[in-house]
Amino acid sequence: MKEEPKDRVNDFLEQSKEFLSSALDNLNKNRANAAGFNAIQAIINANDALTVHFLGRRASKDHREAISLHTDVIKAIHDDFGRGIVKEALDKRSAVGYVGKKLSVSDAKSFVDKAIKFVGWVEKKISG
């Protein structure tokens, strides 16, 4: 885990929104793998914004750290909306981005929809 100053929250959130925008653009151009990978990255960056906001830390080594930090946040805020989304995104990241697994258009749409919901949820949590 890596300590991060809380003034970096918006940096992570802006990166998340950029990846989400790219995911939507790729989906509109029927580039399912790029859309899915970008949606997954949007979820990961939004999770970093969430954990930095509430804990001053983000994952730096592996996916287990990201899940652990996310779990610490949801215990503190009593809202586990995003746990499944983060876990699924982290589980699929390598397969979608690095080992050449093809993503169907419907799976890409699902990841994009989840990213939209998760990023919106994170925005509400860090602004409230």
Residue 112 placed within a domain: yes
117: how many CB neighbours lie within 10 A of its CB? 14
**Tell me: the pLDDT tens digits for 53-67?**
999 999 998 888 999
pLDDT at position 61 is 81
Residue 128 placed within a domain: no
Residue 113 placed within a domain: yes
CATH number of the domain where residue 15 is located: 1.20.120.330
Residue 111 placed within a domain: yes
Question: Alpha-carbon distance 39 to 43, whole Å?
Answer: 6
pLDDT at position 98 is 65
Instruction: Please tell me whether residue 30 adopts helix, strand or coil conformation.
Output: coil
Range of the domain at 61: 2-123
Q: Is the pLDDT of residue 90 over 90?
A: no
Q: Is the pLDDT of residue 89 over 80?
A: yes
Burial class of residue 111 (count of CB atoms within 10 Å of its CB; 0-12, 13-18, 19+): buried
Q: How many domains, in total, are found in the chain?
A: 1
